[in-house]
Amino acid sequence: MKYLLFLFLIITIHKDYKSVKNIPIKADKFLTDIMGNCYVIKKQEIIKYNNLGQKITSYSNGALGNITYVDVSNPLRILLLYKNFNQVIILDNSFAEITEPFYLDNAGIDMIDVACTSNFGGIWVYNSTYMELQRFNTGMNIEQTGTNLSDLIDGNQTPNFIIEKNDNIYLNFPETGIFVFDNFGSYYKTIPIKGLKRFDVNGSFIRYYKNNKIHNYNHILLKETQINLPDTTDVLDASLVNKNLFMLKKDWVSFYRVK
């Protein structure tokens, strides 16, 4: 496996924050987009807030049950995966459905764990049966098959996050790290950061929350900065987008602004 020599320089940064708003909510998870919006997922519902903590819109589909996975990498094409029904729905920025649902059963795919939108207009999924990325068009016809990973990972490993950014696909296996592919699904390298639930990609930087800090890792230069948080009590997740900081706690979502 192609591993990089991991981290030769770590710098800790202290920032000053201004509290903007605290929203009382018991959320399963949250995500942020490049525009500074925050998406809170609570069982069957996804709620969109702006960077001031103001609710913009929400969406739920009781017929499909709980939302299993969400991709907000393209804020104009929000992807929702309903694993129990093996369906994917695409929403626009106001949460209106903009395509027919992707019925994964029709493509012969069972129980997908992660999926993301593609710059080509369809979706990427990781097919655990064949251990490869697959890209489908809106008609659920396969258009691209990626590198088979059977020589790189144990077949029992399950990915928990996927995102397409900068003409690359980033697929996370918590036990191994972040697998990087080109936009045709061909394997390029592994970034050996383990134990992640999600991350953001901005150019050559991988940004993620771990051990009560925001980590900003340049996987090209192998440099990392660590950013302290204004509060580390019971923080489940955190995301820093531009000058907006979002923190997920057990009963709250907190919004901050970097001074």
Helices (H) and strands (E) in the chain, counts: 0, 25
**49: domain range?**
27-219
Asked if residue 243 is part of any domain, the answer here is no
Number of domains in the chain: 1
Is residue 157 within 8 A of residue 127, CB to CB? The reply is no
Domain annotation covers residue 68 = yes
Does residue 57 sit within a domain? yes
How far apart, in whole angstroms, are the C-alpha atoms of residue 110 and residue 152?
A: 22
pLDDT 10s digits, 10-38: 777 778 999 999 999 999 999 999 999 99
241 part of a folded domain: no
Model pLDDT for residues 161-219, shown as the tens digit of each residue: 999 998 999 999 999 999 999 999 999 999 999 999 999 999 899 999 999 999 999 99
CATH number of the domain within which 122 lies: 2.120.10.30
Q: Does residue 60 belong to any structural domain of this protein?
A: yes
Residues 6 or more apart from 192 whose CB is under 8 A from it? 3, 4, 6, 176, 177
Hey, which residues does 58 pair with through a beta bridge?
Answer: 47
Rg over alpha carbons for the chain, rounded to the nearest Å, is: 18
In a domain, 234, yes or no: no
Its sign, for the CA torsion 222, 191, 183, 123, is negative
Q: Let me know if residue 167 belongs to a domain.
A: yes
Alpha-carbon span 37 to 155, nearest angstrom: 36
In a domain, 126, yes or no: yes
**pLDDT 10s digits, 126-169:** 999 999 999 999 888 999 999 999 999 988 899 999 999 989 99
- Check: CB of residue 151 under 8 Å from CB of residue 122: no
d(CA 108, CA 81): 16
